[in-house]
Amino acid sequence: MAGLFGTLNNATSGLGANQVALQTSSHNIANTSTDGYSRQRVNLETNSAYTVPGVGTLGTGVKSAGVERIVDDFVRGQIRNANSNYQYATEKSSVLGNLENIFNEPSDNGLLTQLSTLTSSWTELANNPESDTSKTLVAENASTFTDTLNSMASDINSLTSSTVQSVTKNVLDFNNKVQQLQNLNEQIYNMSSRGESPNDLLDTRDSVLKDLSGLANITSTTDNYGRAFVQLGSQDVLTSTSMSTLSVVTTSSSSGSTLAVGGDTSNVGTTGTQYSAGTVLLSSSADNSTTYQELSISSGTIGGLQAAIGETQDRLQDLNDFAATIAKTTNMVYTNGSSSISGFFTLGTDEDDYAANIAVSSDIVNNTTGISVGKTTASGDGTKAAAIATLASTKLDFPVSDTELATYDSNSMSFTSSQTGSTFANEFNNTVTKNGISKQAADNTATAQQSVLTQLEEKDSSVSGVSLNEEMSNIIKYQQGFQANARLLSVVSEMLDTLINNTGA
């Protein structure tokens, strides 16, 4: 409409638009320190003009076309990837650091020092074969050595169990986050379908996605409504119509696996398939039955914990091979080649627990003076003790094979040296070194990813963060716009008063 009422309409629209803009700026300022908040901006558009014959087009004011959140989705996606890699390396480094403490090398009271002491006591016994004191020292030093191996294996098993529990806890957290995301999707859909802008809900959605990325290597997509859907590997976890949960294998045997269903240790399930402890399974229910599918998690906290479990078990196997080689070769020499599984050391029957079960024979512990020292019973014969001491410098394969044990020469009381083998001390050093290298690599990756993550978060903050200087400038601008439109209303009011009350007869 033309005339004063058209001007009145323009001023009214200007008042409303500036009020919306002021409220949006106040919302930004109030959330300056809110984690995950993205600043918002009002999109103002001119109303459609109309044509007055003989005059031309006249404007009809301004309208608010919506409140937009300022965000770079590409940068947010990069942040999730960097966060996932950082959490993976951090968790892996933490567990391997605990394993490094268990190995306790180098140190003055570590396993290598005890191995050296045991070797020296065999040498001392070889030089004094009739000495009961030397025999007692051999038995005591051997017991100390095996006790340390037992304790080390027990600590590694405890570390593995603790890490599996951490996987379970994080899987429970993952499932809760997915449930939270599903609830957000419903709210976002309801608002978007009504034509509203769920900006704050979208910020919460992005925060949940970041949390999920810190747990596992998720892939996320969004639809036109703003709902987020999640995949893990190539498997759907959350879609518009379904939600799957993750479960964790807590124990395993040849008959199958025991599960913490949904990551809840009080909800115990079973499957007939044997999986390694710490394996994460995708649970899907249909027709009153549940199926499980193994998931490959390559990053995030869960992925880092799983990788650490794998390496911890590898180092435990190295320790078992180390214990088996020492025990079997010593027994072969001690029994003049008649047995590798009994004699001076016992190993037990479980190959996976050799380090946990290795011990000095009870016959020797109970009667140290009966230790066999020489190839013969002749007085002063310490050849057997000398041969056992020499084992420490013999290059052997780990674990020692039956073929290699068969190379034992009862005349020389020695084994054929392996060109690809290593000595006892070198082999244990290799085990410690492998763990140290892996931990250092994880530390380096964590440092690099933290730097990348920091840079990306700074970039995200520069785009989506609230600038108080900018907001204060906008407040002044919108305040002046509001005051100008209010003044225009006052002018129109005065003109209408003149027209109505001061004209006519």
SS (H, E, C) 234-283: CEEEECCCCECEEEEEEEEECCEEEEEHHHCCCCEEEECCCCCCCCEEEE
For residue 55, what pLDDT is reported? 78
Q: Any residues with CB less than 8 A from the CB of 352 and at least 6 apart, and which? A: 317, 320
Domain that holds residue 190: 77-82+162-305
Dihedral sign computed on CA atoms, order 72, 77, 80, 86:
negative
Number of separate domains in the chain = 3
Domain boundary at 251, 276, 305, which? 305
User: What confidence score (pLDDT) does residue 2 get?
Assistant: 66
In terms of Cβ atoms closer than 10 Å to its own Cβ (0-12, 13-18, 19+), residue 310 is middle
Matching residue, tokens 């052997």? 396
Q: Is residue 101 part of a domain?
A: no
Residue with tokens 């903050």: 461
Residues 208 and 294 in one domain: yes
Nearest alpha carbon to residue 194 among 222, 146, 226: 226
* 385 assigned to some structural domain: yes
For residue 320, the model assigns a pLDDT of: 96
Would you state the structure tokens that stand for residue 58, as one six-digit string? 């006249």
DSSP 3-state percent helix, strand, coil across the chain (nearest 5): 60, 15, 25
Same domain, 202 and 253: yes
Q: Is residue 392, in this structure, part of any structural domain at all?
A: yes
3-state secondary structure of 40: strand
196 and 183 within one domain: yes
The verdict on residue 31 lying in a domain is yes
Which two three-digit tokens encode residue 327? 């025990």
The tokens of 2 are what?
Answer: 């033309």
**Do 171 and 264 share a domain, yes or no?**
yes
Q: Are residues 269 and 196 in the same domain?
A: yes
Judge whether 217 lies within some domain: yes
- Helix 111-127 crosses helix 132-193 at what angle (to 10 degrees)? 170
Residue finishing a domain among 260, 287, 305: 305
Residue 229 lies in a domain: yes
Give residue for tokens 């901006």: 41
Q: Which helix (H) or strand (E) holds 456?
A: helix 424-464
Give residue 287's pLDDT: 65
Spell out where 59-196 has E strands.
Answer: 62-69
Residues 326 and 420 in one domain: yes
Residue 218 located in a structural domain: yes
Q: State whether 152 and 183 are in the same domain.
A: no
Is there a single domain that holds both residue 264 and residue 342? Answer: no
Task: Tell me the pLDDT tens digit for each residue of 476-501.
Answer: 998 998 899 899 888 888 888 787 88
The pTM for the full model equals: 0.88
Let me know whether 218 and 296 are in one domain: yes
Answer yes or no: do 170 and 262 share one domain.
Answer: yes
Burial track 35-65 (b if 16+ CB lie within 10 A, e otherwise): eebbbbebebeeeeeeeeeeeeeeebbbbbe
Residues 178 and 249 in one domain: yes
Residues 299 and 416 in one domain: no
Whole-number pLDDT of residue 286: 66
In a domain, 94, yes or no: no
- Residue 168 CB-density burial (10 A; 0-12 exposed, 13-18 middle, 19+ buried): buried
Task: Give the chain's residues under pLDDT 50.
Answer: none
Q: Which of 426, 442, 458 is the last residue in one of the domains?
A: 442
